[in-house]
């Protein structure tokens, strides 16, 4: 059963966005972060450090990834479950929460993030976020140009 | 369990307010018509979007945050309160990041706390706060009780005064004098304001300096950090880079990127600067009381009036367009330098000093225009306190300088970061290449690797033995044997691999050969088309099997090699199985393909045959349809002609029309039956052909059944059409008969109506009209019947004789007859041609010839069937090419009965009429349509025909039976002639003329009626009948004579003689009677008085030499002439005879003239009207002079010149 973000209604609304807008904005950020991690970039948009190779002639994680047909980079992909679980978990008019909907995956992501911080908002993610906010603002015409009475 | 990793996007309400404020500013600017409002709106929106969402990256676990918190608390232990406050402030500042507004507020708050902590301990602050709060409460309560409101800040100020707070607290209940309190309060307010302002004046420069120092310090710190980062990058680059790089384009792009990154930073820094400057700007009180110089121009320089102009706006434009902001910064720095110099000059002036080499006196003199000032400076605000302004300007100068440095560092940082990234990529790609190169080298080593590994293992084994102390000769030999065995096994394995590779290659090659062979086979098949057959498929099968056998041989060879290489039994068995499997698969594939190809070939052949049969059937059907259509059209035309001829030849009498209607119905019925028979024959033939269509597949069967069903439907339609045609023909005849009856009824009714009209209007004429009516009624059938008999008897004679003479003299023949003959002949020729063509085509197509007529003697000897055959009762039948009848079931109630009685006939012997008809007009005219026939025009040129003609003539004037009955002799001869048809006709004509013709009512008419009656009676009753008839005729004529029955012609003669005294002949009398009939309702007495008739009679009389008197009622012209003073009467001419009126005037010239009849004296009547009457009364009558003048005028105008000339030269000459 696909996961659906919990869209709630805030008691006090601060921003000009609807909950759906916030979900859209969060979705853009999710896509940006997911795409960046798939490229093995960290929160600074820099390449993440290489995977630790095997020692003493034994195969390491990169080797296993190659054998599996995957790229030997720190892209958080083995089965793809981790990044598939990255979603907008909840959204209302004031906030949207991005995270991993699977608790197990959340722990894995936490460990991965301890090794190298990749799950976060990088400058490029921030740019994408700003663009999304601007687009929603334009679309929603949050600021209406009209003469004051 | 809380999430360990999450990102929360939150709406920052402060940012929302700021964003809305910016948007409102932009909108306001837009409303004011500022240029670029839309752009600023866009920028405002962008900024709004940037600051609207606050990202709280909770990427660390709560446990870690807890740990960090404990660590920070531990780090804070042992520090003073100020140090802890500073540490907390720095931590919050670091946490706030780029939120400069909040950083400033946090900094301001901590500064207060740090300042308080530095001055006194925390307890003092608490005590002071408590006292202040109590004092404020007391003052507030006091204000409420006494009704005087004390502003909140004043209450705070009073409370803050040393000792006042305690005093108020103590004296709160003793206050009673309201006015005094009010005065005290007002006084205190002023004092407090003065105190505050003075305090601000005193503290302003320091505070400004400190705040700006912090502001610039933050920028400086950021620049330092940037510088450190750049140093670190340079070190990293130095390690990675082995060659210098200097790309100009890259540098420009990096500069633009640096500008973009710096834009926001600059904007925030300058905006913060402006905020601080505005906050610390001297107020009105400072300007007036303190004499401080304002800083409005500085703020304006930084941010303009709107907050987006000035340095901020220019920098934003420069960075937005990717330009170098250094130039802008330099311009503004120069302006700020000038302002600093201005303030410094004022400050020096206030101190009585010179500035920049210009003496005090010169500066002072510049006030009055006599002195001088340093270049670029003005004499203004020279007495204001420049300290706050100078601090602001210097801070701005430092800020601009730092911004310039920041831009340079940012630019360098961006460049170095890019370089680092590129070098890392290069290093990374270099490592990958190296790895690949090593892999290639290892791959190239290949086989030796195995041997090397064996040797390495051998060495390791020896080393191990040595370490174990077991390395001796025996063990070394054993180790060597192990190595040799491994090497042998390795080599054998290599050989097997090689053999397997060779076998695999051969197998692949063989399989490719099989595929290639099959592809060539398919190509040949397509190219061969219809020529491709089963032999080709079998040949392909043989080839495929040979190739499979070749594959099997290769596999066998491989098995043998495996045996030679001492392969294991399992390997050999596997190879054998593989070989067998490959052969079996190849053989099965070849067999399958062969069978599929054969099946496909058979299907194609069957499809072709089916298509051919279908095409043949379609061709035959189209041909049959076309011929049937032509034949039907031709026969329909023939029938139409027959109908027209029957109508033309039919008698116009009622009985004749009835007979004609019956004939037409019979012709139409026969034609419908003929068309029906032909349609049935065609359908039968097509049914036979349709049954021959192939029905191999269900689709073909369906098509065949559909075709057969269509033919059945056509048969049913043909039956229905036949019945409809018969019904229509019968209905038309009935309608025709009804019309005839109705017409007869109408005639009788008209006659009866006329009789009754006469009875009631002219009773005296009733008897006459009744007799006439009865006579007409009785005579009409007799005359018509006799006329028909005569026509029937005489027409062949006349036609034959006319034809003879026409043939002799080449006169024009009857067009209708010629057209009919030609049409018939051409139709016969066409039928022959179509029949021949059909037979030839049917023979070529291998089919039975369709049912179509052909005359005998067709060239080529092809026997063709008849066009129609009798239909058996109870069903419809057709005749195929073989002549075998094929019954077709028809719907019940079909027109089977209509087909009964039809006789076979070829196309040249078509029944011109139905069998029941008694007359054959077409046969009468056409005969056998060829010379030598027994009737018709050709019969006249034969002996028998001529004899027949004479026989007909004799039969007309001679009654052989009467002759035979009378026994011969004169009497018999008379009898034979008197009883002949000609005598009967002559008697009828005599009787008709005597009784009803122009001779009626005369003795001649009596004689004619007597003779005619005798002849008619002779026809009926012999001599006795002749006597009776003669008597009846005599009496009838006598009766007419006695009753005064007179024919119009005789009446005309009588009246003409009576009126005009001339005798006219019968023609003239008929003419007059005709005119009477046409113009005067048959009244001859009126017609003879008609002017035209009178003129005609006048001419007749002159032509016949009779003298016809002139009529007195006819106006005649008169002419008077004057000659020699005497008036004469000129003669006028009627039909060339001169006439004159009876008068005493003599006739000019003395002619002997006739005299016009005159009924009375001559009268002159003058008609005068209108204007003429007035002129006449006035005496203005026409005088000779007037006439002369008019005549002269007319002559001058050439009016009637010719006539005038003729009159003058020859009087009486008539000019037309």
Q: Residue A87: its pLDDT value, please? A: 95
**Looking at the partner chain, which of B3, B12, B30 has a beta carbon nearest the beta carbon of A106?**
B3
Predicted confidence (pLDDT) at residue B145 exceeds the cutoff of 50: no
Query: Could you tell me the pLDDT band of residue B1166, with boundaries at 50, 70 and 90?
Result: low
| Chain A interface includes B16 (CB < 8 A) | yes
- Give the closest residue to B486 by CA, choosing from B476, B494, B475: B494
Q: Which residue of chain A has the CA closest to B57?
A: A120
Q: Which residue of chain A has the CA closest to B417?
A: A46
- Taking the C-alpha atoms of residue B1085 and residue B1078, their distance in angstroms, rounded to an integer, is 13
Name chain B contacts of A10, Cβ cutoff 8 Å: none
Predicted confidence (pLDDT) at residue B148 exceeds the cutoff of 50: no
Q: Which residue of chain B has the CA closest to A50?
A: B428
Q: Residue A109: its pLDDT value, please? A: 94
- Give the closest residue to B393 by CA, choosing from B293, B273, B298, B275: B298
- Give the closest residue to B888 by CA, choosing from B710, B698, B621, B723: B710
**Cβ–Cβ gap A138/B53 under 8 Å:** no
Cα separation values, B211 from B111, B206, B276, Å: 10, 9, 8
Interstrand relation of B1154-1155 and B1137-1140 (parallel, antiparallel or unpaired): parallel
**Looking at the partner chain, which of A14, A22, A107 has a beta carbon nearest the beta carbon of B9?**
A22
- Taking the C-alpha atoms of residue B661 and residue B651, their distance in angstroms, rounded to an integer, is 11
Mean pLDDT of B260-267: 68
From A122's Cα to the closest Cα of chain B, the distance in A is 10
- Taking the C-alpha atoms of residue B996 and residue B1191, their distance in angstroms, rounded to an integer, is 65
Q: Is A8 helix (H, G, I), strand (E, B) or coil?
A: coil
Percent of chain B with pLDDT over 70: 65
Predicted confidence (pLDDT) at residue B30 exceeds the cutoff of 50: yes
Phi/psi for B445 (5° steps) reads -65, -40
Q: What is the pLDDT of residues B1064-1105, one digit of tens each?
A: 998 889 899 999 988 888 888 889 888 888 888 888 888 888
Phi/psi for A16 (5° steps) reads -85, 5
Query: Could you tell me the pLDDT band of residue B42, with boundaries at 50, 70 and 90?
Result: confident
Q: Residue A62: its pLDDT value, please? A: 94
Give the range among B70-74, B330-334, B782-786, B812-816 with minimum mean pLDDT. Answer: B812-816
Query: Could you tell me the pLDDT band of residue B517, with boundaries at 50, 70 and 90?
Result: confident
Name chain B contacts of A83, Cβ cutoff 8 Å: none
Mean pLDDT of B736-747: 84
- Taking the C-alpha atoms of residue B1088 and residue B1071, their distance in angstroms, rounded to an integer, is 10
Q: Which of A133, A136, A140 to mutate to test the interface with B (most CBs of B within 10 A)?
A: A133
Query: Could you tell me the pLDDT band of residue A91, with boundaries at 50, 70 and 90?
Result: very high
Q: In B, residues 251-310, which contact A (CB 8 Å cutoff)? A: none
- Give the closest residue to B398 by CA, choosing from B219, B205, B208: B219
Mean pLDDT of B748-766: 78
Q: In B, residues 647-706, which contact A (CB 8 Å cutoff)? A: none
Q: Which residue of chain A has the CA closest to B3?
A: A106
Cα separation values, B700 from B608, B684, B709, Å: 12, 21, 14
| Chain A interface includes B32 (CB < 8 A) | no
- pTM (2 decimals)? 0.27
Query: Could you tell me the pLDDT band of residue B1216, with boundaries at 50, 70 and 90?
Result: low
In Å, how far from its chain's centre is CA B827?
50
From A99's Cα to the closest Cα of chain B, the distance in A is 4
**Cβ–Cβ gap B57/A137 under 8 Å:** no
Query: Could you tell me the pLDDT band of residue B854, with boundaries at 50, 70 and 90?
Result: very low
| Chain A interface includes B52 (CB < 8 A) | yes
**Looking at the partner chain, which of A15, A98, A137 has a beta carbon nearest the beta carbon of B11?**
A15
Predicted confidence (pLDDT) at residue B908 exceeds the cutoff of 60: no
Predicted confidence (pLDDT) at residue B183 exceeds the cutoff of 50: no
Predicted confidence (pLDDT) at residue B121 exceeds the cutoff of 60: no
Give B88's contacts (C-beta < 8 A, 6+ positions apart): B110
Q: Which of B49, B60, B64, B414 to mutate to test the interface with A (most CBs of A within 10 A)?
A: B49
Residue B1084 burial class via C-beta count within 10 angstroms: exposed 0-12, middle 13-18, buried 19 and up: buried
The residues on A that touch B, with CB distances below 8 Å, are 14-17, 22, 25-26, 29, 33, 46-47, 89, 93-100, 103, 106-107, 109-110, 113, 117, 119-121, 126, 129-131, 133-134, 137-138, 143, 145, 147
Name chain A contacts of B46, Cβ cutoff 8 Å: 130, 134
Q: Residue B173: its pLDDT value, please? A: 44
Percent of chain B with pLDDT over 90: 0
Max mean pLDDT range (A18-22, B189-193, B245-249):
A18-22
Query: Could you tell me the pLDDT band of residue B906, with boundaries at 50, 70 and 90?
Result: very low
- Taking the C-alpha atoms of residue B1000 and residue B1008, their distance in angstroms, rounded to an integer, is 9
- Give the closest residue to B1057 by CA, choosing from B1086, B1082, B1088: B1088
- Give the closest residue to B997 by CA, choosing from B1013, B1009, B979: B1009
User: Are residues B853 and B835 in contact, defined by beta-carbon separation less than 8 angstroms?
Assistant: yes
| Chain A interface includes B67 (CB < 8 A) | no
**Looking at the partner chain, which of A25, A100, A134 has a beta carbon nearest the beta carbon of B5?**
A100
Q: Please report how many Cα atoms fall inside a 13 Å half-sphere around the Cα of residue B933, on the Cβ side.
A: 15
Please determine, for the modelled complex, whether the ipTM score is greater than 0.85.
no
Mean pLDDT of B857-875: 42
User: Are residues B139 and B158 in contact, defined by beta-carbon separation less than 8 angstroms?
Assistant: yes
Phi/psi for A47 (5° steps) reads -60, 135
Max mean pLDDT range (B346-360, B520-534, B833-847):
B346-360
Q: Is A133 helix (H, G, I), strand (E, B) or coil?
A: helix
- Give the closest residue to B991 by CA, choosing from B1024, B969, B973, B1013: B1013
Q: What is the DSSP letter of B292?
A: B
What is the rounded radius of gyration, in angstroms, for the C-alpha atoms of chain B?
74
Q: Which residue of chain A has the CA closest to B64?
A: A114
**Looking at the partner chain, which of A89, A95, A110 has a beta carbon nearest the beta carbon of B4?**
A110
Predicted confidence (pLDDT) at residue B904 exceeds the cutoff of 70: no
Q: Residue B180: its pLDDT value, please? A: 45
Predicted confidence (pLDDT) at residue B381 exceeds the cutoff of 70: yes
Mean pLDDT of B1015-1044: 83
Give the range among B391-405, B564-578, B763-777 with minimum mean pLDDT. Answer: B763-777
Q: Residue A37: its pLDDT value, please? A: 96
| Chain A interface includes B897 (CB < 8 A) | no
User: Are residues B188 and B167 in contact, defined by beta-carbon separation less than 8 angstroms?
Assistant: no
Cα separation values, B345 from B204, B206, B434, B457, B651, Å: 21, 21, 70, 94, 150
Give B938's contacts (C-beta < 8 A, 6+ positions apart): B927, B928, B930, B931, B932, B945
Max mean pLDDT range (B256-260, B334-338, B533-537, B917-921):
B334-338
Query: Could you tell me the pLDDT band of residue A101, with boundaries at 50, 70 and 90?
Result: very high
pLDDT, chain B, mean:
72
Q: Residue A85: its pLDDT value, please? A: 95
Predicted confidence (pLDDT) at residue B895 exceeds the cutoff of 50: no
**Looking at the partner chain, which of A22, A29, A119 has a beta carbon nearest the beta carbon of B59?**
A119
């Amino acid at each position: 059963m696909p996961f659906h973000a919990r869209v709630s209604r805030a008691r006090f609304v601060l921003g000009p966005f609807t909950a759906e807008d916030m979900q859209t904005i969060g979705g853009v950020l999710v896509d940006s972060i997911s795409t960046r991690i798939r490229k093995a970039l960290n929160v600074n948009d820099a390449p993440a450090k290489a995977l630790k190779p095997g020692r003493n002639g034994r195969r390491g994680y990169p080797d296993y990834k190659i054998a599996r047909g995957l790229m030997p980079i720190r892209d958080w992909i083995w089965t793809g479950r981790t990044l598939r679980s990255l979603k907008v978990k909840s959204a209302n008019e004031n906030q949207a929460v991005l995270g991993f909907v699977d608790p197990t995956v959340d722990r894995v992501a936490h460990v991965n993030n301890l090794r190298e911080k990749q799950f976060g908002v990088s400058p490029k993610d921030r740019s994408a976020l700003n663009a999304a906010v601007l687009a929603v603002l334009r679309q929603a015409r949050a600021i209406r140009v009209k003469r004051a009475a | 369990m809380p999430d360990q990793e999450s990102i929360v996007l939150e709406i920052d309400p402060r940012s929302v307010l700021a964003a809305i404020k910016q948007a409102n500013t932009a909108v306001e600017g837009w409303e004011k018509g500022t240029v670029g409002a839309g752009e600023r709106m866009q920028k405002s929106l962008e900024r709004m979007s940037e600051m609207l969402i606050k990202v709280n990256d909770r990427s660390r676990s709560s446990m870690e945050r807890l740990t960090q918190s404990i660590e920070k608390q531990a780090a804070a232990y042992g520090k003073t309160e100020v140090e802890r406050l500073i540490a907390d402030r720095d931590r919050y500042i670091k946490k706030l990041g780029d939120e400069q507004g909040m950083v400033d507020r946090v900094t301001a708050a901590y500064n207060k706390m740090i300042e308080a902590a530095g001055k006194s301990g925390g307890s003092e602050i608490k005590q002071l706060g408590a006292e202040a709060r109590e004092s404020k409460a007391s003052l507030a309560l006091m204000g409420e009780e006494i009704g005087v409101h004390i502003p909140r800040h004043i209450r705070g100020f009073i409370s803050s005064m040393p000792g006042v707070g305690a005093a108020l607290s103590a004296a709160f209940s003793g206050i009673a004098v309201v006015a005094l309190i009010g005065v005290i309060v007002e006084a205190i307010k002023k004092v407090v304001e003065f105190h505050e302002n003075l305090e601000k004046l005193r503290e302003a420069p320091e505070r400004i300096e400190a705040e700006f120092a912090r502001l610039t310090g933050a920028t400086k710190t950021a620049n330092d950090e940037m510088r450190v980062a750049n140093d670190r990058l340079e070190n990293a680059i130095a390690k990675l880079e082995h060659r210098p790089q200097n790309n100009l384009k890259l540098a420009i792009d990096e500069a633009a990127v640096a500008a973009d990154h710096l834009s926001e930073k600059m904007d925030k820094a300058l905006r913060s600067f402006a905020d601080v400057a505005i906050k610390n700007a001297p107020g009105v009180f400072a300007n007036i009381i303190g004499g401080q110089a304002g800083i409005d121009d500085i703020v304006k320089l930084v941010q303009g009036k709107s907050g987006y102009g000035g340095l901020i706006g220019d920098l934003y434009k420069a960075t937005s367009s990717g330009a170098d902001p250094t130039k802008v910064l330099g311009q503004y720095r120069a302006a700020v330098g000038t302002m600093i110099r201005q303030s410094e000059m004022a400050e020096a002036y206030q101190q009585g000093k010179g500035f920049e080499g210009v003496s005090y006196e010169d500066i002072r003199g510049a006030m009055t225009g006599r002195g001088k000032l340093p270049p670029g400076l003005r004499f203004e605000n020279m007495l204001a306190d420049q300290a706050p302004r100078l601090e602001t300007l210097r801070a701005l100068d430092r800020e601009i300088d730092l911004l310039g440095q920041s831009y340079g560092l940012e630019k360098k940082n961006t460049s170095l970061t890019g370089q680092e990234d590129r070098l890392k990529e290069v290093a990374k790609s270099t490592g990958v290449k190296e790895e690949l190169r090593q892999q290639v080298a290892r791959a190239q080593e290949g086989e030796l690797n195995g041997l090397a590994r064996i040797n390495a293992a051998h060495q390791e084994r020896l080393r191990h033995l040595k370490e174990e102390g077991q390395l001796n000769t025996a063990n070394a030999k054993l180790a060597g044997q192990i190595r040799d065995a491994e090497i042998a096994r390795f080599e054998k394995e290599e050989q097997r691999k090689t053999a397997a590779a060779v076998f695999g290659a051969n197998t692949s090659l063989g399989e490719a050969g099989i595929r290639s062979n099959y592809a060539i086979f398919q190509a040949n098949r397509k190219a061969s088309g219809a020529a491709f057959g089963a032999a080709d498929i079998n040949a392909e099968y043989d080839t495929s099997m040979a190739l499979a056998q070749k594959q099997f041989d290769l596999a066998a060879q491989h098995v043998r090699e495996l045996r030679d290489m001492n392969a294991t039994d399992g390997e050999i068995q596997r190879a054998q199985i593989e070989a067998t499997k490959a052969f079996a698969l190849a053989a099965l594939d070849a067999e399958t393909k062969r069978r599929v190809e054969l099946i496909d070939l058979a299907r194609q052949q069957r499809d072709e045959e089916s298509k051919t049969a279908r095409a043949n059937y379609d061709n035959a059907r189209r041909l049959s349809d076309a011929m049937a259509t032509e034949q039907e059209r031709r026969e329909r035309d023939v029938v139409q002609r027959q109908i027209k001829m029957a109508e033309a030849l039919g008698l116009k009498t009622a009985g004749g029309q009835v007979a004609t209607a019956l004939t037409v119905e019979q012709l139409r019925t026969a034609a419908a039956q003929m068309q029906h028979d032909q349609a049935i024959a065609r359908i039968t033939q097509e049914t036979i052909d349709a049954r021959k269509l192939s029905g191999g597949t269900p689709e073909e069967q369906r098509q065949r059944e559909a075709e057969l069903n269509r033919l059945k439907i056509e048969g049913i339609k043909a039956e229905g059409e036949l019945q409809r045609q018969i019904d229509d023909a019968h209905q038309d005849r009935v309608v025709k008969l009804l019309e005839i009856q109705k017409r007869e009824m109408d005639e009788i009714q008209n006659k009866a109506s006329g009789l009754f009209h006469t009875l009631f209007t002219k009773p005296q004429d009733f008897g006459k009209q009744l007799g006439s009516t009865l006579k007409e009624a009785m005579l009409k059938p007799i005359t018509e019947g006799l006329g028909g008999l005569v026509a029937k008897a005489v027409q062949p004679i006349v036609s034959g004789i006319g034809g003879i003479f026409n043939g002799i003299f080449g006169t024009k023949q009857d067009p209708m007859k010629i057209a009919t003959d030609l049409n018939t002949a051409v139709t016969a020729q066409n039928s022959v041609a179509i029949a021949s063509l059909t037979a030839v085509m049917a023979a070529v197509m291998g089919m039975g010839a369709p049912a179509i007529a052909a005359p005998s003697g067709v060239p080529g000897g092809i026997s063709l069937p008849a066009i129609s055959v009798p239909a058996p009762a109870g069903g419809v039948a057709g005749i195929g090419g073989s002549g075998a009848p094929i019954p077709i079931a028809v719907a019940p109630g079909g027109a089977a009965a209509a087909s009964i009685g039809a006789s076979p006939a070829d196309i040249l012997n078509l029944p011109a009429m139905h069998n029941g008809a008694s007359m054959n007009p077409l046969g009468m005219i056409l005969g056998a349509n060829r010379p030598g026939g027994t009737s018709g025009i050709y019969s006249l040129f034969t002996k028998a025909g001529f004899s027949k003609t004479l026989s007909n003539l004799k039969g007309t004037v001679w009654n052989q039976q009467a002759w035979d009955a009378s026994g011969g002799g004169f009497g018999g001869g008379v009898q034979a002639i008197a009883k002949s048809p000609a005598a009967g006709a002559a008697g009828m004509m005599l009787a008709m003329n005597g009784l009803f013709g122009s001779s009626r009512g005369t003795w001649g008419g009596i004689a004619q009626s007597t003779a005619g009656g005798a002849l008619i009676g002779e026809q009926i009753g012999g001599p006795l009948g002749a006597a009776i008839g003669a008597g009846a005729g005599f009496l009838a004529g006598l009766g007419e004579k006695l009753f005064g029955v007179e024919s119009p012609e005789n009446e005309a003669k009588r009246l003409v003689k009576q009126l005009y005294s001339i005798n006219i002949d019968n023609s003239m009398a008929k003419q007059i009677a005709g005119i009477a009939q046409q113009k005067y309702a048959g009244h001859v007495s009126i017609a003879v008085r008609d002017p035209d008739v009178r003129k005609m009679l006048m001419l007749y009389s002159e032509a016949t030499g009779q003298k016809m008197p002139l009529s007195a009622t006819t106006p005649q012209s008169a002419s008077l002439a004057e000659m020699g003073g005497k008036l004469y009467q000129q003669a006028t001419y009627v039909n060339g005879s001169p006439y004159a009126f009876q008068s005493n005037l003599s006739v000019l010239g003395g002619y002997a003239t006739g005299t016009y009849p005159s009924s009375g004296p001559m009268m002159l009547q003058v008609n005068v009207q209108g204007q003429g009457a007035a002129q006449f009364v006035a005496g203005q009558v026409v005088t000779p002079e007037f006439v002369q003048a008019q005549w002269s005028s007319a002559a001058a105008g050439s009016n009637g010149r010719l006539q005038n000339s003729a009159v003058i030269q020859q009087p009486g000459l008539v000019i037309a």
